[in-house]
Structure 1
Amino acid sequence: PHIMEDIPNTTTHLQECFACLQSAYRGKITLHLAAEYMLDNLFQERFKRHDLLPLGERGNRLLVETSYLYPAMKFYDTLRRIKEKGYYPVLAHPERYNYMGERGYKTLKEMGVKFQLNLLSLDGMYGKTVRNKARWLLDNGMYDLIGTDVHTWEACKQVKELSLSSRTLKKLSVFKTNGQ
């Protein structure tokens, strides 16, 4: 779930909701609770209090995002502080950040920031520019994780109906085998 000033989900509330989900879930996939944090003032407060829901079995990946139009204040400094606390910052859908270009992506990778692809970006759901950036990032081996930004049943259907080229599928298949 998202956590940001506009959606101030609390850790306790999300844990309660997750417990309800787990009690009703009968699938074979192991579920883990984590959150996607907007790098805003609320994040800064929660980060100081260590009130976080990180990704992964080891709990050492922190999924973060920023505005599509402009970077968060002290963007690079915040990412450095996340690393200093022992987390790997994972930048959600980097292909969707209008302000970011090749140099910015390379700088983030040099800092050790992980990138999470929004799978629907490859299908053009967010427009040609985003699709082209996603393809460039994939072609240059910059993605570390794959996810979706599914918030509606309509988006679920789009994932199910996703049509990708065999070349793209081959590039994505490395995520299955490299322990990511």
Structure 2
Amino acid sequence: MWPFRKRIPLKDSGIFEGFTDWHSHILPGVDDGVQTIEEALEILRLYEELGVKSVWLTPHVMEDTPNTTAHLRERFAELQAAYSGPITLHLAAENMLDNLFEERLGKNDLLPLGENGDHLLVETSYFSPPMGLNNILLRIKAKGYYPVLAHPERYVYMGESDYQQLKDMSVKFQFNLFSFAGTYGPEASKRAVWMLKNGFYDWAGSDIHSFSNLKRTINKIQISESKLQMLQSLLASHFI
């Protein structure tokens, strides 16, 4: 495949064919992502052209964006009513590990990820972990959920030993699809490549926040054959 080209346009690489996007901010008007149903539909139409199979809508839930489960389900129903295409839509959430999360975990008031409803997509500050991070993750597991850490390559306080420690705790890792292309800076790109090479990731998501960003990114990014092969291997091993 692509015998005379060292780098392949991402949009032509075929990785979106049958792709499940495990992390997106397409649900309109609920966080810093898409703001209108019209924009959400634009993204979904572009995803159809690329061959995307299903999308998990994972809006932020945090103290600064205290979305309730009822409100998110209401907005999700509105989007489902407006969208009649072939992509399967699912609702979950990206949970900041803050005091609000602790409260909602105690009440089991959560929107889990995955067909079996037993995974929780979580995040922390990019610059420092919450106090007692490991204990929080253990409490998540005690509640019967697998913690899934969103975009671990973006956390500047984490290094290789931290990733290994979390992996040993059965924490799952979600790769931001555009990280290795430098979208979040060179250090995040380096960490993403290292994690891909060493098999740390469990599956991938776009973390897309707008139509313009998605369109610009997929048209701009070119990927090396070696990175494409690593990514294809990851996408082929989805376990949820």
TM-score interval for Structure 1 and Structure 2 normalised by the shorter chain: over 0.9
CA displacement 1:11-36 (0-9 Å, x = unmatched): 00000000011111112121110000
Task: Answer yes or no: is the 8 Å Cα contact 2:202–2:238 preserved in 1.
Answer: no
Residue 79 (structure 1) aligns with? 137
Alpha-carbon separation, structure 2, partners of 1:143 and 1:103: 15
**Cα distance in 2 between the residues matched to 1:21 and 1:143:** 30
**Quick one: higher RCO (CA 8 Å, sep 6+), 1 or 2?**
2
Residues of 2 paired with 1:163 and 1:86: CA distance?
40
Assess, with a 3 A threshold, how the Cα gap between structure 1 residues 158 and 77 changes in structure 2: closer, same or farther.
Answer: farther
Measured in 1, the distance between the counterparts of 2:132 and 2:106 equals 15
Per the alignment, residue 182 of structure 2 pairs with 124
What residue in structure 2 maps to residue 176 of structure 1? 235
Q: Distance in 2 between matches of 1:75 and 1:174?
A: 30
Query: In the TM superposition, what is the alpha-carbon distance from 1:154 to its structure 2 partner?
Result: 2.8
How many Å separate the matches in 2 of 1:79 and 1:126?
Answer: 25
Give the paired residue count.
Answer: 180
Structure 2 counterpart of 1:23, one-letter code = A
Distance (whole Å) between structure 2 residues aligned to residue 84 and residue 164 of structure 1? 40
Q: Deviations over 1:72-128 (max 9, x none)?
A: 111100101111111110000000000000110000000000000011111101111
Match runs of 1:148-163 below 5 Å: 148-161=206-219, 162-163=221-222
Identity %: 56
- 1:167 pairs, out of 222, 226, 229, with 226
Secondary structure of the structure 1 residue equivalent to 2:175 = strand
Per-residue Cα deviation, 1:116-161 (whole angstroms, up to 9, x for no partner) = 0011111101111110000001010000010122112232124422
- Separation in structure 2 between the aligned mates of residue 87 and residue 132 of structure 1, nearest angstrom: 30
Tell me what 2:29 maps to.
Answer: none
Counterpart Cα distance in 2 of 1:69 and 1:177 = 32
How far apart in 2 are the matches of 1:30 and 1:94? 26
Structure 1 SS opposite 2:223: coil
- Cα distance in 2 for residues equivalent to 1:158 and 1:91: 26
Aligned to 1:9: 67
CA RMSD of aligned residues (A): 1.1
Matched with 2:101 is: 43
Gaps of 5+ in 2: 1-58
More helix by share: 1
CA distance in 1, matches of 2:148, 2:166: 10
User: What letter matches 2:185 in structure 1?
Assistant: G
The aligned runs of 1:22-37 (5 Å cut-off) are 22-37=80-95
Q: TM-score, normalised by structure 2?
A: 0.73
Q: Which amino acid aligns with 1:72?
A: P
Q: Which has the larger radius of gyration?
A: 2
Q: Is contact 2:60-2:94 (8 Å) kept?
A: yes
Shift in alpha-carbon separation, 1:145–1:179, aligned structure 2, 3 A: closer
Please give the alpha-carbon distance, in whole angstroms, between the structure 2 residues aligned to 1:179 and 1:153.
Answer: 25
- In structure 2, how many angstroms separate the alpha carbons of the residues matched to 1:49 and 1:154? 38
Aligned counterparts of 2:149 and 2:63: Cα–Cα separation in 1: 18
